[in-house]
Structure 1
Amino acid sequence: MLANLTDVNIQTLRRVGKKLSPEADGALSIRTYDECVRFNITILNDSICIVQPYLPDARGVESPTLVAERKSDTTGLYDTFSQVFDSMWDRAKEVSE
């Protein structure tokens, strides 16, 4: 079941990628990983990320969503989740077209 959901998600992201403007061409990258993940982390830019925990009995839309904003003078949630994302991304395998 998980493999099927992953495939559906990849196909959906590929369709979205084909609809991107010429300026955004190449801005969407997809990678997969083979380890337990606790959060869905989307890095929007160098100051905002969106985080959702993976809950045992809930789908993504049912999980609480956190918006973390980087504050220049302190280390906070943005920095923590950005480090988690980078670590996972570095170990993940790129999905080819």
Structure 2
Amino acid sequence: MSIKDKETVQVKIDKEVTDKVDQILDGLGLTTTAAITMYFKRIAADGKIPFDVSLTEQERERIKNNIVRNGELLPQKGYMTEESIEEWLNDEDEW
């Protein structure tokens, strides 16, 4: 595939995450570009993300508790009841 057949993809990812991933990929002998290319090719081949992206019950509870305690993790839509928080957590369009 020639260079003109390729597209540049730009993303913003927390530096702490990229630093950790760079160390892991370096240990595997991979570049970030190679790893992302592998990821995209797997999605294209399988028609889905190649790992589970759902929250565990423990993660859902932790998020819900943080929302109730802090109120700062919610989108600005006025969710304040436990039922509305649960509804927000179940809405895949919000993620």
TM over 0.5: no
TM-score between both structures, scaled by the size of structure 2: 0.27
Higher share in helix: 2
Higher share in strand: 1
TM-score between both structures, scaled by the size of structure 1: 0.27
Structure with bigger gyration radius:
2
More relative contact order, 1 or 2 (CA 8 Å, 6+ apart):
1
